[in-house]
Amino acid sequence: MRKTQIVKKAKGPAKITLKAPWEIDLLRKANAIVAEVLYTLKETIAPGVSAWDLNRIAEEIVQKRGALPAFKGYRGYPFSLCVSVNEEVVHGMPLKEKVLKEGDIVSLDFGAVYEGYVGDAALTVAVGEISEEAQRLMEVTEEALYRAIDKARIGNRVQDISATIQNVAEKAGFNVIRDFVGHGIGRNLHEPPEVPNFGRRGKGPKLMAGMVLAIEPMVVTGDYAIEILPDGWTAVTKDRGLAAHFEHSVVITPKGPEILSKI
Ligand code: MF3
Ligand code: CO
């Protein structure tokens, strides 16, 4: 999600909702549909495939499962799937003319609403043979996600997740995006708290059982500055360095983190 630009109201930050077990069951179902879509698209990706086809396949699956696409119509976004190629960080549009080619890395981001509850996940896929740098970027970003998920435990704080992502990315010589953040999720796609991909250990809201977070590292090979293309959506790196994006929706339980969007 876009990092909040507006100043917090005098009332203070909106509060984080804790989900009941029955709500977590519905979130698990919504995320299982998201995982099925992403897995199917990952298997479909090859040189010559159009992002448009991927969006269509995603819509077929979500409909077959009795769910709705979460992104379509969200703040006016006109598609169900985001397809972001190479220097595109997030919110790339699945246009017919966006045809994948050997050597590309492509980030797929999908959300589904099932019985009023929203699932959200993303991954980055290689198209055929890719450069060593692109390969390492994808591996580091995915590792940052899993290391961060391991911090999603009662007693830790939101920025323990953030700092872990930043640390993994920067130790590898990469940078994290500042303008987009992870988020709470539930009946709404974006709920408090924001989950930045950078921060300081021990800071931010305390993590509690029943919190559901979409943790989504966006990592780039170059500078973290981004710009939005004239289409009003596609975020690209200013220096046109490569970007990768991995995301899971995770519930915090007394036994530790549970990944709801596991493939
Ligand atoms: N996973 C992205 C996010 O949390 C997807 C949003 S795309 C949008 O912001 F179109 F819905 F905005
Ligand atoms: Co998200």
Over residues 177-216, the pLDDT tens digits come to: 999 999 999 999 999 999 999 999 999 999 999 999 999 9
Beta-carbon neighbours within 5 Å of ion ligand 2: 120, 214
Identify which ligand lies nearest to the alpha carbon of 92: 1
pLDDT bucket at 11, cuts 50 / 70 / 90: low
Provide the domain count of the chain: 1
Assign 34 to helix, strand or coil: helix
**Helix ranges restricted to H, the chain:** 21-44, 51-64, 132-149, 158-171
Mean pLDDT of the chain: 97
Q: How far apart are CA 154 and CA 144, in angstroms?
A: 20
State the residue range of the domain holding 41. Answer: 5-259
pLDDT score at 3:
86
Please say whether the beta carbons of 107 and 82 come within 8 A. yes
Among the atoms of ligand 1, which is closest to the Cα of residue 71? 11
**Contacts of residue 56, Cβ cutoff 8 Å, sequence gap at least 6:** none
- pTM over 0.85, yes/no: yes
Is 75 touching ligand 1 by the criterion CB < 6 Å? yes
Considering only CA atoms, give the Rg of the chain. 17
For residue 245 and ligand 1, the question of a CB distance below 6 A is answered with no
**Rounded CA separation 243/89 (Å):** 5
Torsion angle of the four alpha carbons 250, 88, 133, 47, in this order, in degrees rounded to the nearest 10: 100
pLDDT of residue 13: 66
Atom from ligand 1 closest to the CA of residue 91: 7
User: Residue 191: which of 24, 32, 4 has the closest Cα?
Assistant: 4
User: Looking at the predicted structure, is the pLDDT value of residue 9 above 70?
Assistant: no
Q: How far is the CA of 100 from the centre of ligand 1 (A)?
A: 21
CATH of the domain at 169: 3.90.230.10
Q: Which of 247, 224, 248, 228 is nearest to 93 (CA)?
A: 228
pLDDT in tens, 99-143: 999 999 999 999 999 999 999 999 999 999 999 999 999 999 999
Separation CA 101–CA 155 (nearest Å): 45
